């Protein structure tokens, strides 16, 4: 197959190092991995293969379609959105629903579904059954592998974190669940009393950092784009749609095969940066659907067919763009070749 003019460089060593760090920070709890939304955009299969080889045993997806696409890998998969009526027919043996409402629990019982997980709502008001219902026996007799809840503001120091932890901890021994799980990436950094039996990091595996304890988390994803054309722009001429950039002097510009349809959004207009070796190459003008211009004054030898790497360290790029670290990854389009090194 002809290679695409844009690619994601994916760093296996960094992914595995991030999981290993999060696993160590999880103390005696097992460390799983959230791989929903196609592994946060990296490609779920590539992520699961690498983390399973590193020792990860618990994987979380959003839907049954995502689970089915990974079921042949033989790992344990939990479907965070539970079990709809439509999902009951074709269920691979290594996939469990995370039952999220009394209706789903009843449906699972009626169909003799087997082992499941259950989500308890301790404050998100999104998915989950109430702690009270669990304490009153909603799950009695069910084969529950993991009882979980989800933190609202694990990336902030707020009183709600401890309230959620305490409400969840109060359910210990009051459900048939074999394990309990509360912490996402940032939750792991909140301390041992948030770890329970299993942690569920996502964004930090892929280079996200929201907590000082995660300073050693490494960048995993780097978008790279090919140069389609190099051109000279004279002082005073403008570049791109709506002429938002006027060349202050004669300058050299490269046009990249990359744009907002690829997930490199318009907020990078006149703000984003690329690199070639040590040369810093700022985005000039508006990002278009499939094209972006960069100034290549600092790289006299770059030309058609050469590749540049976009600056994409997640915390810094989120601050620059106003996008969340999650959006930066999950928006990356299918047009990228995903290449693991």
Ligand X SMILES: *Cc1c(COP(=O)(O)O)cnc(C)c1O
Q: Which residues bind ligand X (CB under 6 A)?
A: 34, 36, 80, 150, 184-185, 200-204
Positive/negative CA dihedral, 165, 166, 172, 174: negative
Which one is catalytic: 40, 194, 206, 241?
241
Are the beta carbons of 60 and 36 closer than 8 angstroms? yes
Closest distance to ligand X from the beta carbon of 250 (Å): 46
Residue number, 138 or 204, with CB nearest to ligand X: 204
Residue number, 23 or 185, with CB nearest to ligand X: 185
Q: Pick from 329, 330, 289: which is nearest to 310 by CA? A: 329
Are the beta carbons of 35 and 48 closer than 8 angstroms? yes
Closest distance to ligand X from the beta carbon of 50 (Å): 17
- Known catalytic membership, residue 40: no
Closest distance to ligand X from the beta carbon of 204 (Å): 6
Residue number, 121 or 262, with CB nearest to ligand X: 121
Residue number, 155 or 224, with CB nearest to ligand X: 155
Closest distance to ligand X from the beta carbon of 99 (Å): 13
Residue nearest to ligand X (CB): 202
Residue number, 150 or 286, with CB nearest to ligand X: 150
Closest distance to ligand X from the beta carbon of 34 (Å): 4
- Known catalytic membership, residue 241: yes
CA distance 259 to 289: 5
Cα three-residue angle 75-152-262, rounded to 5 degrees? 65
**Catalytic machinery residues:** 36, 241
């Amino acid at each position: 197959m002809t290679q695409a003019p844009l690619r994601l460089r994916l760093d296996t060593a960094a992914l595995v190092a991030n999981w290993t760090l999060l696993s160590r920070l999880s103390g005696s709890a097992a460390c799983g991995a959230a791989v929903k939304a196609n592994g946060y955009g990296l490609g779920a299969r590539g992520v699961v293969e690498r983390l399973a080889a590193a020792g990860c045993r618990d994987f979380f997806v959003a839907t049954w379609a995502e689970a089915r696409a990974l079921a042949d890998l033989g790992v344990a998969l939990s479907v965070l959105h539970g079990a709809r009526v439509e999902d009951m027919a074709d269920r691979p043996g290594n996939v469990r629903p995370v039952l999220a409402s009394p209706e789903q629990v009843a449906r699972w019982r009626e169909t003799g579904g087997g082992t499941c997980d259950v989500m308890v709502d301790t404050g998100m008001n999104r998915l989950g059954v109430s702690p009270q219902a669990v304490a009153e026996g909603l799950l009695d007799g069910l084969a529950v592998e993991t009882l979980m809840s989800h933190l609202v503001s694990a990336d902030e120091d707020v009183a709600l974190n401890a309230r959620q932890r305490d409400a969840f901890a109060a359910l210990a021994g009051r459900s048939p669940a074999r394990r309990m799980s509360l912490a996402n990436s940032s939750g792991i950094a909140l301390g041992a009393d948030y770890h329970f039996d299993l942690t569920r990091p996502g964004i930090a595996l892929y280079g996200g950092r929201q907590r000082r304890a995660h300073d050693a988390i490494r960048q995993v994803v780097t978008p790279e784009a090919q140069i389609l054309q190099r051109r000279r722009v004279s002082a005073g001429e403008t570049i791109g749609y709506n002429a938002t950039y006027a060349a202050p002097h004669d300058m050299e510009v490269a046009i990249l095969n990359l744009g907002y349809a690829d997930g490199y959004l318009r907020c990078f207009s006149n703000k984003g940066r690329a690199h070639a070796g040590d040369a810093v190459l700022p985005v000039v003008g508006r990002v278009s659907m499939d094209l972006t211009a960069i100034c290549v004054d600092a790289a006299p030898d770059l030309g058609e067919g050469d590749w540049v790497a976009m600056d994409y360290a997640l915390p810094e790029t989120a601050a620059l763009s106003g996008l969340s670290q999650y959006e930066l990854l999950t928006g990356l389009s299918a047009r990228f070749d995903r290449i693991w090194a």
